[in-house]
Amino acid sequence: MNRFIKTLLFFLAMPLVALSQNHRLAFEASYEAIPDIPKGLLEAISFTNTHCNHLTDANYFHDGPDVMPRAYGLMGLVKDGKGYFRENLHLVSDLSGISETEILQSPEKNVLAYAKAFERLAEESKANQIKSYLSVIQRLSELPIGEEKDVYPMQSMLYSVCLFLNDEKKAEQFGFQKYDIDLKAVFAEHYDMLTAPELGIFRSPDYPPAIWDPAPECNWEPRTKEVSAVVIHYTEGSYAGCISWFKNCDAEVSAHYVIRSVDGQITQMVREKDKAWHAGTANGYTIGIEHEAYGNVWEFFTEEMYQSSAALVRSICSRYRPINGQRTHDRDTLDNGFCLNNGLYNLGGEGACVQIRGHQHYPDQTHTDPGPYWDWNYYYKLINEGSLVTVLEGDSGSLDHQNYGNDERRIWVIRGPEGSIIQLDFSSFSLENDFDFLWVYDGDNEFAPKIGRWNTQSPGSVQSSSNVMCIEFRSDCLTTDSGWEASWTAIDTTPVAPEIEESMTGVFPNPTDGKFTIKSGSEGFTDVTISDMYGNVMASERFVSSIEIDASSWAAGIYVINYGTPITLGKVAKLVKM
């Protein structure tokens, strides 16, 4: 199944990233007040810093010395940099003359204050093209400037702004003329660092598709245990901000990898052989992966991010044999209504059955990421792509799977003749409650629309909408049950035409009382099917000489043609003797 179809099926139900009307007006008002700022530039900065969310304290769930400084408003301004980030809220307020309180409370004032500050610095530096505009954006950023370790995070942020401006879909969505920035020319000596070319020196030593930008030794230590699990986090801050924060020795925090939302770019910051500081008591035996997300976190969990993250985890599984991709957390809400992904839920410590899970699923934690918006079932399927599929074809058969084992993932595809639907009937069904699950999909693979998921109750009888059905079964590493017995049948849905002995066609007027009378005349019809001109059966009756038919289901005002004659007050029907 190609990536486009997977993306379409998965993201049909996902909220779209889009500006609210109020936020759109905030940008338009700023361009009207300061017309020298090129259209799209403010949105590009906002999208890079906040995904165009007006952030307040309500958008944050965690705090403490290890947590990134909070960004506020549409433009993502920092008021408390925790001694590391620059407090650009104060700078923007001073340059614009708009109070910090107004900037924090009003989306319109937030954008306008940034725009005024931008205008003032652009005039001072005589900025009038994209490269000089990037210098202004850098001066207004919260990211540190001045040391060698600060170069990559800052350049990465600026690069993201340019990616937005060059994106045709973003230009259409946000209402500006697409830019055509020559990224290699603009970023010059930093270009290779930002894109990690195939043979470049900035490749990750453990995972070559990633960029290597190491955290300082003050934020990690040598590992003394074998790697046996993976922790999924989200950053609660921007991609560039997270990379910069992991270089702050006072924060005493790091992760092995950071993944960007918009395109799935990966930066490695700690070697896998070393212990990053990301999950407390679980640090010693885990690899930590941070995913860019904050504010409306579901907007950040893009197809590109899922694909990139799953590829990384597949690589980790191939290099650390104790980790099994089939032991990825895949449970969301159990049959009894309990949700495992909202808040903290301990799935066990070192040696636990589930080896790839969220920060919230490890013992002794306070952070609840990645939370209920991370689609664990979809992630599981991406990590375990390429599993063996058993194909069953024909008119009928059995699909028994009794006395199953631990750590199973089985996929069956049932394919009947064209023009049929598949019916799957279970005569017995018993799985380990809350741990082993059966999925049925309406199509030829596990990415097709889901018909249902079953665990504590039997599916009974399940039907597809076409001649193909996919069944997926997963069991965990402990405890099994008797499984199931089932049979399947391909049901022919081809319409069967009745054997017609005689027929006549006539016009039957729409009566005011909702009924009309059909007389048999001399032919003496007894079994009659009444159809409209399109062959849709309207009634099927038995009568001797005459019968009243309810016409309420026949819409009035439909124009039909019978032998070239327009009929506006009636319907053409056919009486068929069966």
SS (H, E, C) 284-325: HHEEEEEECECCCHHHCCCHHHHHHHHHHHHHHHHHCCCCCH
pLDDT at residue number 18: 53
Using an 8 Å Cβ cutoff, are 572 and 532 in contact?
yes
The conformation of residue 335, written as its DSSP 8-state character, comes to T
Phi and psi (nearest 5°) for 568? Answer: -110, -20
Cα–Cα distance between 145 and 149 in angstroms, integer? 9
pLDDT at residue number 498: 47
pLDDT at residue number 525: 44
In the chain, CATH 3.40.80.10 covers: 196-383
- Tell me which residues of the chain have a pLDDT lower than 70: 1-22, 197-200, 496-578
pLDDT at residue number 214: 97
Reported pTM: 0.84
Cα–Cα distance between 422 and 441 in angstroms, integer? 11
pLDDT at residue number 198: 59
Total count of residues recorded for the chain? 578
Query: Per CATH, is 3-193 categorized as 1.20.120?
Result: no
- Architecture of the CATH domain 196-383: 3-Layer(aba) Sandwich (3.40)
pLDDT at residue number 19: 58
Phi and psi (nearest 5°) for 326? Answer: -75, -10
In the chain, CATH 2.60.40 covers: 502-577
Mean pLDDT of the chain: 86
For the domain made up of 502-577, the CATH class stated in words is mainly beta
Using an 8 Å Cβ cutoff, are 330 and 402 in contact?
no
- Which residue has 């063996």 as its token pair? 388
pLDDT at residue number 494: 83
- Architecture of the CATH domain 389-492: Sandwich (2.60)
In the chain, CATH 2.60.120.290 covers: 389-492
Tokens matching residue 358: 């969220």
pLDDT at residue number 246: 98
How many helices (H) and strands (E) the chain has is answered by 14, 28
Using an 8 Å Cβ cutoff, are 368 and 344 in contact?
yes
In the chain, CATH 1.10.530 covers: 3-193
Give the DSSP per-residue string, 146-198. SSGGGHHHHHHHHHHHHHHHT-HHHHHHHTSPPP---HHHHHGGGHHHHH--T
Tokens matching residue 53: 């969310």
Q: How far apart are the first and last CA of the chain?
A: 47
pLDDT at residue number 323: 97
Please choose, from the candidates 398, 343, 387, 386, the residue with its C-alpha nearest in 3D space to the C-alpha of residue 366.
343
Cα–Cα distance between 91 and 112 in angstroms, integer? 14
Asked if the peptide bond before residue 370 counts as cis, ω within 30 degrees of 0, the response is yes
